[in-house]
Amino acid sequence: MRTVKIIIAAGLLVLGIITFLVFTTGDDAAACTNLIVTKGASEDGSVMVTYTCDGEFHPRLRLTPAADHEPGEMIEIVDWGGKMRGHVKQVSHTYAVLYNLMNEHQVVIGETTFEGRLELQNPDGVLHYWKLMALTLQRAGTAREAVEVMTDLVEEYGYSSTGEIFSISDPEEAWVVEMIGSGPGGKGAIWVALRIPDGYVYGHSNMSRIREFPTDDPKNCLYSANVTALAIEKGYYDPDCGEPFRFCDAYCPRAEQWVRYTETRTWSMYRRIAPSKEWESGWHRGIQDAEPWPLWVKPDEKLSLRDVFDVMRDHYEGTEYDMTQGMDAGPFGCPYRWRPMMWESDGVQYSWERPISTQQTGFSMVTQSRSWLPDPVGGVLWYGVDDTYFTCYVPLYCGIDALPESYTRGGMQEFSWDSAWWVFNFVSNYACLKYSYMIEDVRKVQGELEGKAIALQPAVEKTAKELARSDPELMTRYLTDYCVSHAERVVDRWRDLGEFLLTKYNDGYVKDENGRPQEVGYPELWLRDVIRLRPDRFRLRADKDTVETELPY
C-alpha cells in the first residue's frame, strides 16, 4: 500500500488519547466551537451539545470502561509533554466514558479555550482541562454534579490551563462553566457556572461570554468564592467605577482581532437559529461600544438533529462574510484559507475570516441525551472526523463496549487507507481543487448516509429498549454491532467517494454521465478578474478570423 510521508512543522504533543499539534493564529491557541441546545429548544426533547475540536492533529477514538478501585489508589497525572504533574485520589467506582466526551449516564462535556489573562495560568496546577474533563465524566452522574466535581477537583489539585469554557449536559439540563487559573502558585481556579434556561440555546467560540451573574440563585448559578476579589486584587475591576462586575470584562478583555476570530462564529450560529432577530455586526467586528448579544437565544423553531448538523456546517454562506465568494475564494469558490490567518502588506495588517467549518478540525460531535430512554440507548454521540462540512456523522451509543477499528487507527506522520481520519482528509483535500463542483457530490453522499442513520434511529432504539428490559448484555452487543458496522460502512463508502472524485475530476476535466471528459474552464466572473488584473497578458493579438477555435492537447 502506498504511503504519504507528512512533514509536521512543529513537534507533536502527546495528549492522553490523541496526538495533538496546536496550530497558530499569531499566538498559540486552541480553537473550538460549541453549541448547547436545551430539551425545550429541540424538536424531540433531546439535550444536545456540539463540539468541534480544532487543531492539526489525528484523533483516535478510545473507550474507558467502568471500573471499581481499591482504597488508597492514586491516578498519575502526566501532561502533554510527558511530564508527571502529580497524583489524584481515585474514587471507589468510575463510570464508562466514550472518548472523554460522554459517559454511561448521558453526561456530556465539550469545551472551547479562551486564554484570557495569560498571567493567571498556574504552571504548578496538576490538572489540565482535558484531564479534568476525563476525571469529571468518570465521577459525575448528572450535569450539576459534573460542575461540582470539576470545581472540587481544581480546588484540591490546582488548574494548569488558560481560560476555558465547558459545555456540560445531561438528559434534563445544560450548564456552561467559564474557568481560568488564579495565577502561579495560586489555589484552585476562578469560575462561574450558569444553568441555561430551558427552551434556549447557547453558543461559544473561544471567547468568554458571561457578563453579570446572579450571586443569590444557587439553583441556576454557581461561582468560586474569589471570583470578584481576585479581579479587584489584580486591578482587573474597580469596585468604585460605577459599573457592575462582569466576568468576561475582567478575565477576557476584548481585542478586535480576537473578537472577530471568535464571536463571528457565535453570531453565525445565532443568526441561523433565530433569523427573525436583528443581529448587528458591530459586536463581532470588535467595535467597543457595540451592543452585546444576549447570552442565550430562543430559536425561531425547535431544532432537529439534522438542523444542528447544518448549523455546525458554516462558512458564512449568504452573508457579507461568505467565504465561497470573491477573488480570495479562487475560481471554484473554495471557502478555505490556508494558514497563517493574519498577514501584513505595506505596513497594514489583514486577517482572513475564521468560520465554524475549518480544515483544521480533528474531530467534531453532536450529542443527544434523552430522558425518556434507558441511559445506554438515550445517550448517543454522533461523531465525525475532519472538517464538519466534509465529515459524515456516525452514531455511537453510550452503551457500546467496542469501537469501529478505523476510527482508532493512524497518525499524522503516515497516510493510511485503514484510518478513517485519513480517508476523510483525502476526500476533503482533493475536493478543494474544484470545490464548487465536488462539494455537490460530497454533500449528496453525506446526506444519504446521515439520512439513513437518522431514519433508522427509531427502529434501532425500539429494539435496544426492549432488550434492555429482557437481556441487557444482548442489548450491549446489539448496539455495539450496529454502531461498529455502520461506522465502518461509512468509511468504506467514503473511500469509494474519494476514488470516484479522483476519476470524475481527473486533470481538471469533469466527466459527464457517459464518462466523457468535458472542458468546463473557469467561471466568467473569475476570468474577468484575471483580465482586469493582467489585461494584456492573455490577449490574443492575431486577427480574429485566423485564430484556431480548438487547440490540440
pLDDT at 115 over 80: yes
Question: What integer pLDDT is reported at residue 545 of this predicted model?
Answer: 58
Percent of the chain with pLDDT over 70: 92
Question: What integer pLDDT is reported at residue 27 of this predicted model?
Answer: 37
Question: What integer pLDDT is reported at residue 28 of this predicted model?
Answer: 38
pLDDT at 314 over 50: yes
Question: What integer pLDDT is reported at residue 451 of this predicted model?
Answer: 98
Angle separating helix axes 472-504 and 420-431, nearest 10 degrees = 30
CB atoms within 10 A of CB 551: 6
Cell numbers found for residue 228: 470578584
Q: What is the mean pLDDT of residues 409-435?
A: 97
Cell numbers found for residue 498: 474519494
pLDDT at 113 over 60: yes
pLDDT at 41 over 60: yes
Residue with cell 481520519: 421
CB atoms within 10 A of CB 213: 20
Question: What integer pLDDT is reported at residue 160 of this predicted model?
Answer: 95
Distance of alpha carbon 480 from the chain centroid: 25
Specify burial of residue 199 (Cβ count, 10 A radius: 0-12, 13-18, 19+).
middle
Question: What integer pLDDT is reported at residue 551 of this predicted model?
Answer: 57
Write the pLDDT tens digit of every residue in 330-387.
999 999 999 999 999 999 999 999 999 999 999 999 999 999 999 999 999 999 999 9
Question: What integer pLDDT is reported at residue 90 of this predicted model?
Answer: 98
Question: What integer pLDDT is reported at residue 548 of this predicted model?
Answer: 56
Question: What integer pLDDT is reported at residue 320 of this predicted model?
Answer: 96
Question: What integer pLDDT is reported at residue 14 of this predicted model?
Answer: 28
Question: What integer pLDDT is reported at residue 58 of this predicted model?
Answer: 96
- Strands 201-204 and 221-223: what pairing? unpaired
Question: What integer pLDDT is reported at residue 553 of this predicted model?
Answer: 59
Q: What is the mean pLDDT of residues 238-260?
A: 95
Q: Write down the mean pLDDT value for the chain.
A: 92
- Name 462's Cβ contacts closer than 8 Å, sequence gap at least 6: none
Question: What integer pLDDT is reported at residue 416 of this predicted model?
Answer: 97
Q: What is the mean pLDDT of residues 82-94?
A: 94
pLDDT at 74 over 90: yes
Residue 367, Ramachandran bin (φ over 0: left; ψ between -120 and 50: alpha; else beta): beta
Per-residue confidence band for 30, with pLDDT thresholds at 50, 70 and 90: low
Per-residue confidence band for 48, with pLDDT thresholds at 50, 70 and 90: very high
Compute the distance between CA of residue 214 and CA of residue 222 in angstroms, rounded to an integer: 9
Q: Strand, helix or coil at 306?
A: helix
Compute the distance between CA of residue 178 and CA of residue 247 in angstroms, rounded to an integer: 9
Q: Where do the H-state alpha helices sit in 253-330? A: 256-273, 305-311
Nearest to 107 by CA among 80, 155, 140: 140
pLDDT at 290 over 50: yes
Question: What integer pLDDT is reported at residue 3 of this predicted model?
Answer: 32
Per-residue confidence band for 504, with pLDDT thresholds at 50, 70 and 90: very high
Rg (CA), the chain: 25
Residue with cell 498556574: 122
Per-residue confidence band for 249, with pLDDT thresholds at 50, 70 and 90: very high
Q: 528 φ, ψ to 5°?
A: -65, -35
Q: 299 φ, ψ to 5°?
A: -70, 150
Q: What is the mean pLDDT of residues 399-417?
A: 97
Q: Strand, helix or coil at 396?
A: strand
Question: What integer pLDDT is reported at residue 505 of this predicted model?
Answer: 98
Residue with cell 431514519: 455
pLDDT at 2 over 90: no
Q: Which of 4-13, 57-66, 350-359 has the lowest mean pLDDT?
A: 4-13
Residue with cell 465502518: 488
Please state the three-class secondary structure of 104-134 as a single string.
Answer: CCCCEEEEEEEECCHHHCCCCCCECHHHHHH
Q: What is the mean pLDDT of residues 265-273?
A: 98
Q: What is the mean pLDDT of residues 168-190?
A: 96
Q: What is the mean pLDDT of residues 52-68?
A: 96
Give me the torsion for CA of 258, 146, 51, 248, rounded to 10°. Answer: -20
Helices and strands (DSSP H and E) totals, the chain: 11, 25
pLDDT at 328 over 70: yes
| Segments making up each domain of the chain, as ranges | 13-321+358-364
Nearest to 49 by CA among 131, 98, 109, 99: 109
Percent of the chain with pLDDT over 90: 88
Residue with cell 460531535: 365
Question: What integer pLDDT is reported at residue 541 of this predicted model?
Answer: 78
pLDDT at 66 over 90: yes
Per-residue confidence band for 187, with pLDDT thresholds at 50, 70 and 90: confident
Q: Do residues 68 and 201 lie in contact, with contact meaning Cβ atoms separated by under 8 Å?
A: no
Compute the distance between CA of residue 165 and CA of residue 295 in angstroms, rounded to an integer: 13
Q: What is the mean pLDDT of residues 114-143?
A: 96
Question: What integer pLDDT is reported at residue 31 of this predicted model?
Answer: 82
Question: What integer pLDDT is reported at residue 11 of this predicted model?
Answer: 29
Compute the distance between CA of residue 343 and CA of residue 8 in angstroms, rounded to an integer: 21
Give me the torsion for CA of 215, 295, 206, 112, rounded to 10°. Answer: 70
Question: What integer pLDDT is reported at residue 547 of this predicted model?
Answer: 53
Residue 326, Ramachandran bin (φ over 0: left; ψ between -120 and 50: alpha; else beta): left
Q: What is the mean pLDDT of residues 244-272?
A: 95
Compute the distance between CA of residue 39 and CA of residue 16 in angstroms, rounded to an integer: 32
